[in-house]
Amino acid sequence: MWNTSCSYRHYSASASALKTRNFLSARGVGIWNGTIKNCVASFPFGVQSSDTWHRLRRFSSSSLWLKLQSKERRCRKSAELRVRAAVVFKDLDPDDFRHPLDKQNTALLRTFPGLNDFGKILLGPVAEQIMLLENIGTSVLVTKNQLPDLHQIMIEAANILCIEAPDLYVRQNPVPNAYTLTIGGRKPFIVVHTSIVELLTLKELQAVLAHELGHLKCDHGIWLTFANILMLGTYSIPGLGSFIEEQLFRWLRAAELTCDRAALLVVQDPKIVISALMKLAGGCPSLADQLSVDAFLEQARSYDAASSSPVGWYLRNAQTRQLSHPLPVLRAREIDQWARNPQYKALLARAYTAAIGTATSTNNPTPRPTPTSALLIKQS
């Protein structure tokens, strides 16, 4: 599940933006420095008089203004589709990127006899049908003909991780989130909420989908669905001891760190993953151009410093014990550190070496790494 309980985007004025500028200038609306600086939700205009301010407010709520905003978002997202990771991680093994805490807590869960069987009983035929019909009946299935942009980034992410793409559903919900459900022998599916689609760029959204694919790649399966039911239903299951339930959520927090790494393998730029985490922690479309990944990482370092004392350590554990996900700042710090880890650099170098060899033997174009990946490969 992707929730937490940006990359900078500066654009020069387009032709449509200049038309907007002329439209506003003709109506007495001043513009900062004589230019328009495009933002996600508005253009930062100067105000010449109180009368102009009222006219600007009326214009900002007009259908024309909303259409301009919608068109600008579509143009930006279409441009993002042309910026893709160029490498596929062939023969990728889950242990190549699995977080050490994930390995440790998975081994611990396996020591509880009958837990896996209990989960299978809980997720019996009736529960399977309920969850399946719930999503088919209340969500939109993404296909190449239905929401093709989302379908494209899902297929790309699945190809990069060498995994079969699951079904993807978009569901109306004001809480930004995404989650994976694996039901018995059926094909798993991913659900994303409309609010997370609105909040993130396409590359950030691809990082979210890659995170969910990471659960499938690592075969988190029955335990993941088990934990998701506990979270989505917000209830405790009779017969499941509080200690075991706590261990299940501890495992889930560790599994989330593994899947953040899967997100990085797909987008191949840590700032994209961290930007998504930052926006889910405290972002909104109108503030997107003011958010700083570097400042968020500095915030993570401040948290580490504040919790380094014995009292801070105790409070930190108490704060995180009942959480299903690690704190957003800690996830950002973890992915920033792994992006500099020799393990990640070696994976990138191995993947690009294989891709170049394939391109040479088949006379296909040689894949080019992203600038961030190229720098890391050079350092490895």
CA distances from 100 to 256, 261, 262, 277 (A): 12, 12, 14, 21
CA distances from 187 to 57, 181, 190, 221 (A): 49, 9, 10, 11
Nearest-Å Rg of the Cα atoms of the chain is 23
Beta bridge partners of 2: 178
The span from the CA of 378 to the CA of 380, in Å, is 6
Q: What is the DSSP string of 355-378?
A: HHHHHHHHTPPPP---HHHHHHHH
In 144-283, alpha helices (H)? 148-160, 194-199, 202-217, 221-233, 242-267, 270-282
The span from the CA of 176 to the CA of 194, in Å, is 7
- By annotation, the residues acting in catalysis are 212
The span from the CA of 265 to the CA of 260, in Å, is 9
Work out the number of other CB atoms within 10 angstroms of the CB of residue 286: 11
The span from the CA of 308 to the CA of 317, in Å, is 11
Work out the number of other CB atoms within 10 angstroms of the CB of residue 230: 19
The span from the CA of 225 to the CA of 210, in Å, is 17
Give the residue carrying structure tokens 């990359």: 7
Under 8 Å between Cβ of 236 and 230: yes
CA angle 248, 249, 251 (to 5 degrees): 65
Under 8 Å between Cβ of 2 and 179: yes
Give the residue carrying structure tokens 């793409």: 165
